[in-house]
Structure 1
């Protein structure tokens, strides 16, 4: 799949994610329902991965390894908690703005990466899927089901 097609798939998924969370009040967005998380926490950790992987894509674009020396992403739960905690006090409207800004930074970084890195299985392909395309798909059904169940 070509870079542009992946970026279009990312954008489509992002717009679906936005539709799933827009219109929530601050109270609803910060209500815990997903284990120990709220919608804000879910969005905060997605935003965190956008930011973290934008930096990885920038390194790839410079011909460097995506992960800097000494950084280990193998404990995704710890990273997720860190990203959510960073926005524990962020009001919902600002969290939505950060989600959009982080996605824009992520896409801008992806555009710098050479086309061949987006071939299936290559590093940019994996980053776009793991941090965005598949990530949106992972969380959207639960959010939509919660909204349906709560009448939101």
Structure 2
């Protein structure tokens, strides 16, 4: 894909968020906090997971805007499963309301941070060479694609809630 522009990125962020929200729309908090939506994670845990990764991207955007080469996890060598497990342990006991507020709040920060970048800063593939791609493409990969992946997980879980007697193949 060529480098993504600002408008396309903002539309993609909106679309992935709407898809994820549709997957959990109308469900009671007791169901949303029940383990087993995605592996051992509840839907709440999935939202907390997405919020933590998106918060890393917010930090990256903040550091870049300050002219600092980011020191976020994106640029560290780490075991993703281990990192996810650490964050899960940290957030699994937080109440639904807090996870929901964090999930909503981090997106406000993402959009605000992205607004601070010009079109050329976001879309030029060589503007930040250490990203190895355009900033918009980088955010798309780390935020939009990640949210879409977990929206699909939650859609599958939702189908199981709606048809508890059906068996999976």
User: 1: distance between equivalents of 2:116 and 2:134?
Assistant: 14
Matched, 1:76 2:80: yes
User: Cα RMSD between the aligned structures?
Assistant: 2.3
Instruction: Report the structure number with the largest CA radius of gyration.
Output: 2
Specify the SS of the correspondent of 1:44: helix
TM-score (norm 2): 0.77
Of 37, 40, 47 in structure 2, the residue corresponding to residue 36 of structure 1 is: 40
Partner residue in 2 for 1:140: 151
Deviation at 1:131, TM superposition (A): 2.8
TM-score (norm 1): 0.85
Preserved contact between residue 20 and residue 154 of structure 2 (Cα < 8 Å) = no
Partner residue in 2 for 1:57: 61
User: 2: distance between equivalents of 1:86 and 1:112?
Assistant: 31
Preserved contact between residue 20 and residue 143 of structure 1 (Cα < 8 Å) = yes
Deviation at 1:66, TM superposition (A): 2.1
Deviations 1:2-36 (A, max 9, x none): 11220121112112211212322222112222222
Relative to structure 1, the CA distance from residue 62 to residue 122 in structure 2 (aligned partners, 3 Å threshold; closer, same or farther) is farther
Listed as ranges, the gaps of 5+ residues in structure 2 are 126-131, 164-169
Specify the SS of the correspondent of 2:40: coil
Listed as ranges, the gaps of 5+ residues in structure 1 are none
Deviation at 1:123, TM superposition (A): 4.9
User: 1: distance between equivalents of 2:27 and 2:88?
Assistant: 18
User: 1: distance between equivalents of 2:162 and 2:88?
Assistant: 25
Relative to structure 1, the CA distance from residue 140 to residue 22 in structure 2 (aligned partners, 3 Å threshold; closer, same or farther) is same
Deviation at 1:117, TM superposition (A): 3.5
Number of paired residues? 151
